[in-house]
Amino acid sequence: MKKFLLLTIFLVNVSYVNAQKVQNSSYSTIGYIKIDGTIQNSSYSTVGHIKSDGTIQNSSYSTIGRIKDDGTVQNSSYSSIGYIKKNGTIQNSSYSTIGYIKDDGTVQNSSYSTIGYAKGVKREWVAAYFFFFKFN
């Protein structure tokens, strides 16, 4: 019985670590981003992927963009569509601020209104999800 309980606790923890919730401003779950970069909608259907090299793909594995190491976000034609700053500021291609991602995973628009939450998810992935590519 003790082994079963420990196994159950382990499996619950592993499933929690493997997918973090993406929530809207009302804390309703709108999707999940798994530790491997798989993006799922609220029904757990895969809607996209973010690869370790920054490549962003739709559910059919077609490349729709990329995030470069310097925070530049590009579309599939390699045109810059925005920037992710180290301080959490998100800018469009004209360098206008379109939002912020705080260290605690709170996502805000340019007016500092909270539009969502993604605690425990890489800042670049959160920016791709909320500001640059439509996954929901």
Residue that is written with structure tokens 């996954």 in the block: 135
For residue range 63-89, what is the model confidence (pLDDT) as tens digits?
Answer: 999 999 999 999 999 999 999 999 999
DSSP 90: E
- Average pLDDT taken over every residue of the chain: 89
What is the chain's length? 136
Q: What range defines the domain where residue 51 resides?
A: 2-132
Residue 23 near residue 29 (C-beta atoms within 8 A) = yes
For residue range 89-135, what is the model confidence (pLDDT) as tens digits?
Answer: 999 999 999 999 999 999 999 999 999 999 999 999 999 999 999 87
User: How many distinct structural domains can be found in the chain?
Assistant: 1
DSSP 45: -
Neighbouring C-beta atoms of residue 42, cutoff 10 Å: 14
